Amino acid sequence: MQQMISPPRRGTMINPRASVAGIDAANGQCWYEIRALAAGRVEIFLYDVIGGWGITAQQFVSDCKEAGVFEASAVDLHIHSPGGDVMQGFAIFNTLSRLKAKLDIWVDGVAASMASMIVCLPGATVHMPENAWLMVHKPWGGIAGDSDDMRDYAAWLDRNEALMLSAYMNKTGLGQEELEAMLKAETWLNGAEAVEKGFADTLEPELQAAACVNQNKLKDYQNMPEQINNLFGPRAEAPASQPQPAQNPAPQAANNPPAPQPAQQPLAGNIDITALAAQLQQQMQAANTERVSAVSAVFDAFPAFGSLKAECITDISCSAEQARTKLLNALAAGTTPSAGPGAVHIHAGNGNIVGDSIRAAVMNRAGYAQAEKDNAYNGYTLRELARASLVDRGIGISGVGTAQAMVGLAFTHSSSDFGNILMDVAHKAALLGWDEASETFEQWTRKGTLTDFKTAHRVGLESLASLRKVRAGAEYKYVTIKDRGEPIALATYGELFSIDRQTIINDDLDMLTRIPQAMGLAARATVGDLVWAVLTSNPKMSDGKPLFHADHGNLVAADLSIEGLDIARKAMLLQKSGDRRLNIRPAYMLTPVAIESRANQLIKSASVPGADANSGIVNPIQNFVTVASEARLDDSSPTDYYLTAAQGRDTIEVAYLDGIDTPYLEQQQGFTVDGAAFKVRIDAGVAPLDWRGLVKVTKK
């Protein structure tokens, strides 16, 4: 039984699984193999239970680095697996998602449960033989505890299922309801069905699969097709003398579970009983060593309770949580409660008490949230919070010799979400910087969405006359519209910064707030640079003429005066689409800073310059536009200014990938920095759509 990676309350929990890993007697075995080939090509074989034999995804990632997977130009991933540990599978999925190489996935036999999610890696081409199988189902696990523990565990399983659904939907394009029904029913798909549903891309000829996966791992799957038995054989390569019965438990199986299979009658090959006993003993010793370490960590700050510590260590049934309860009772002995019985103060959020409380404390120190007066972590330094993220989860640090090692463990331990908490704070700072950036382009540009990085073409309606009258009983006729496609494409802009262990030990909160905030500000300024560069560079449109050109009727030579502004206003109002006047009215006047005051004076005055007081001469252009100054225009010309139509008209489009118009923060731990590296990026593209909603005025 494994400790659940999610923050436990009480009780003993089993990690949510997508397969039955069980105990395999094989020695010196591994569920993966990595082969570095020539010409920058790497082969990866996931051939058995993910996370089996105590080999974690961390070791898998380490071996990938040594084999040059992350530097390879092409990766072939072969899968023949019944699934395995969900959290290990997520780690593999997230790691391989960052590959820059061309990725081809081959389902050599079975890709069941968690293995089917790895099949859905983004950007991969999935090949599946006709006789291969893919299975999806709901993650499952178990718990021994009270009702609150069970409800928390059920919520944790639901969150895992949601993550798996997201990967399936992104790969297949199927709806959430359909996929939920498939998971609930434990759905098996052969090669042709997988291609039809979108899980695979190409259907390959039948393949004779290698007998690699122990059939015992598939016993708990209720809907497994009988044909799949042909894909598996005994691990010892001995021929199976008798067919195995279908593993579809009858209803009475819940009340009368079958007796365990005797060790003398294995399903496949000969099992070394001595080796199996030794393996079980090693696992028990390892579990007890982990328990002792966790219990010892509870008493690290309380050396006076050495006898109680020894008692808890000696009691093999005493967990870290039980030891903590005994310690608290000992500390409370002889004291009088000040708030009466039952007055318990905790910071409660989503069930992750330690993580939520630490997150609230950091957010408060950064100035992004109000202090929770009942939060036990108020006033903690970053170093102390890193320690709490380990110790308060029952993770022993008695063997960690230095502060640097302790902080590093807080970043990398699977049960600690310290790195994710810091990412939340940094993301908050980046968004704050984005919101605080003094940019005005969003007031008048058009916001668009692109779904990929290919060059798209925006169609402008050149000519649409008035609607024709349709006589009674007559047919409607199609109108002919001339289209003009203006190109627009996305590009990625971003930077890296890191929060290393020295930063945490030094309690340098500015590194966590000011740098991401500055990057958020820079991200918005980058988009602004692209927008204002369109105005000042005057790019060519699809008709081969610059954006501002006399033939477009949007280039005016006039002074900054009532008369000059009126000429520019008329130029926009008189624009045509074919023979039809568009009547586009200016909404904004974009000026260099040098002439901003003069422009406001001319537009906001009730009278014209030079008129006597109370002369009754009205300013004809009073408040016809809103003045917006921009320092970038001064670098191009301190006298040229622009009129633009209101937001939403076809002027300049600012497009974002999938409509995400804020910077995105990604985190990577332990690879390039001794801590966590953060990447701030934004995917944006800017292009002019139509010249008729824009007018440029140059000085005579």
Question: How many Cα atoms are found within 13 Å in the side-chain-facing hemisphere of 67?
Answer: 22
- Tell me whether strands 74-81 and 102-112 are parallel, antiparallel or unpaired: parallel
Task: Round to whole Å and give the CA distance between 543 and 472.
Answer: 41
Which two three-digit tokens encode residue 545?
């003429």
Torsion of CA 259, 261, 263, 266, to 10 degrees: 170
- By C-alpha distance, which of 219, 236, 239 is closest to 272? 236
Specify the amino acid at residue 183: L
Which two three-digit tokens encode residue 99?
């590959």
Task: Round to whole Å and give the CA distance between 21 and 44.
Answer: 21
Sign of CA dihedral 32, 35, 36, 41: negative
Confidence (pLDDT) at 675: 64
Task: Round to whole Å and give the CA distance between 687 and 673.
Answer: 38
> Could you tell me how far CA 96 lies from the centroid of its own chain?
14
Task: Round to whole Å and give the CA distance between 85 and 63.
Answer: 19
Confidence (pLDDT) at 629: 92
Assess contact for 349 and 374: CB atoms under 8 A: no
Which two three-digit tokens encode residue 578?
């074919």
Per-10-residue mean pLDDT of the chain, 700 residues long, equals 37 41 43 78 84 75 83 88 83 85 88 89 90 86 72 81 88 89 88 91 72 51 62 39 37 37 38 48 69 83 78 78 84 54 41 74 79 78 78 70 68 67 77 81 88 77 63 74 70 77 72 80 88 91 90 91 90 84 89 92 80 69 90 91 88 88 71 64 89 90
Task: Round to whole Å and give the CA distance between 614 and 611.
Answer: 8
Which two three-digit tokens encode residue 513?
């707030």
Confidence (pLDDT) at 247: 38
Kindly report the CA angle at 698 between 693 and 700, in degrees rounded to 5? 140
Confidence (pLDDT) at 148: 77
Assess contact for 686 and 446: CB atoms under 8 A: no
For 296-320, letters b (16+ CB in 10 Å) and e give: bbbbeeeeebeebbeebbeeeebbb
Confidence (pLDDT) at 218: 54
Phi, psi (5° rounding) for residue 367?
Answer: 85, 15
> How many residues does this entry show for the chain?
700
- By C-alpha distance, which of 238, 229, 218 is closest to 112? 218
Q: For tokens 């602004």, what's the residue?
A: 528
Task: Round to whole Å and give the CA distance between 387 and 390.
Answer: 5
Which two three-digit tokens encode residue 262?
């005797």
Specify the amino acid at residue 601: Q
Task: Round to whole Å and give the CA distance between 489 and 491.
Answer: 7
Confidence (pLDDT) at 125: 92
Task: Round to whole Å and give the CA distance between 644 and 535.
Answer: 11
Specify the amino acid at residue 567: I
First to last CA, the chain: 83
Task: Round to whole Å and give the CA distance between 9 and 152.
Answer: 8
Residue 547, Cβ density class (10 Å: 0-12 exposed, 13-18 middle, ≥19 buried): buried
Q: For tokens 């014209």, what's the residue?
A: 608
> For the whole model, what pTM was predicted?
0.46
Neighbouring CB atoms inside 10 A of 54's CB total 11
- Residue 628: strand pairing partners: 590
Confidence (pLDDT) at 626: 92
- Residue 129: strand pairing partners: 204
